[in-house]
């Protein structure tokens, strides 16, 4: 979700669900230690519970970044062992690290010594020619022995040779059964399933076998699904009954950010899917896309776009 789930996106998503755990886009250790840490790490306190997803593999750097994340107030640090991009591989992090369970175990061990917040791992079911289940079982067993209690499993293998990151999201088959098998083998661990999940009905079906469900792209492209999360999955009252009810809080946030020199299109790009499936949704997207980038654009663009949508 690189360049997707930034702080503006997460604030918007929190307006839809009070209970869902929100994750940052992947941030590398280099960006934190040798870049603009505040740009990557600052977030609105309304986002809690929120986890920092961290890309890296050098234990001392990972530990220092975990300390920094805790000082910023994050509720969790999640180690990314799932991203398949070539740029990530060259940086020695992401899915290629599934071949180095001892290294990830060492990162978990030293990070947990230094912070009080949970250190979790997000990974694939395997990479390249690894056996479909055996290698994943060994990876999880090794990292769990170092103290990790929560594993988020993308139920696709990552082919690091021959497939692009986009192809790695679609071509390798989904193997939910292997994630279920992992939970059966490690009942004491929290196993969260991820990959290709598009509806809350599917989430409920997965929850019969695992402890949690992570939804990424579908929640971004069709964010209204988050408005039903609290009632359907947590047994809590829904925050909103209709989509336009979220707009007053969004307008207030956008006005504050624009006053602080944030460009409207940096925020509005995350809102394009809000009215998906409703009459006028295409007009909403088009109006924002054609106007939000213009100099001086503000909340009036969103208000005019919303007037084009019919919500019954």
Catalytically active residues, by annotation: 83
Output Rg (C-alpha) for the chain, integer angstroms: 20
Contacts of 18 (CB under 8 A, 6+ apart): 230, 236, 239
CA distance linking residue 183 with residue 189, whole number of Å: 7
CA distance linking residue 174 with residue 154, whole number of Å: 9
The DSSP letter of residue 259 is: H
**Bridge partners for 28 per DSSP:** 55
SS3 (DSSP) at 121 = strand
CA distance linking residue 230 with residue 221, whole number of Å: 19
User: 76-81 and 119-127 as β-strands: parallel, antiparallel, unpaired?
Assistant: parallel
CA distance linking residue 183 with residue 192, whole number of Å: 9
Task: Give DSSP secondary structure letters for 101-167.
Answer: HHHHHHHHHHHHHH-SS-EEEEEEEEETTS-TTHHHHHHHHHHHHTT--EEEEEEEEE-TTT--HHH
Residue linked to tokens 């990424």: 216
């Amino acid at each position: 979700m690189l360049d997707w789930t930034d702080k503006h996106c997460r604030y918007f998503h929190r307006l839809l669900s009070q209970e869902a755990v929100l994750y940052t886009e992947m941030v590398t250790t280099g960006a934190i230690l040798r870049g603009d840490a505040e740009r990557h790490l600052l977030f609105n306190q309304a986002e809690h519970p929120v986890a920092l997803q961290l890309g890296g593999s050098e234990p001392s750097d990972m530990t220092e970044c975990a300390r920094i994340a805790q000082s910023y107030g994050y509720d969790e640090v999640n180690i990314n062992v799932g991203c398949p991009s070539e740029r990530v591989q060259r940086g020695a992090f992401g899915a290629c690290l599934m071949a180095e369970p001892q290294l990830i175990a060492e990162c978990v061990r030293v990070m947990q010594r230094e912070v009080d917040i949970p250190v979790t791992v997000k990974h694939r079911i395997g990479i390249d020619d690894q056996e479909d289940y055996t290698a994943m079982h060994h990876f999880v067993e090794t990292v769990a022995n170092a103290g990790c209690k929560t594993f988020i499993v993308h139920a696709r293998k990552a082919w690091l040779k021959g497939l692009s990151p986009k192809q790695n999201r679609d071509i390798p088959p989904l193997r939910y059964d292997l994630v279920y098998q992992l939970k059966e083998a490690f009942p004491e661990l929290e196993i969260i399933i991820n990959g290709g999940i598009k509806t809350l009905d599917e989430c409920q079906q997965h929850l019969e076998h695992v402890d949690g469900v992570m939804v990424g792209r579908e929640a971004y492209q069709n964010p209204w699904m988050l408005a039903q999360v609290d009632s359907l999955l947590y047994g809590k009252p829904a925050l909103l009954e209709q989509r336009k009810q979220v707009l007053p809080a969004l307008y207030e946030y956008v006005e504050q950010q624009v006053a602080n020199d944030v460009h409207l299109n940096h925020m509005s790009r995350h809102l394009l899917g809000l009215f998906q499936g409703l009459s006028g949704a295409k007009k909403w997207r088009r109006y924002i896309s054609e106007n939000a980038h213009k100099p001086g654009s503000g909340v009036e663009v969103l208000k005019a776009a919303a007037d084009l949508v019919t919500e019954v």
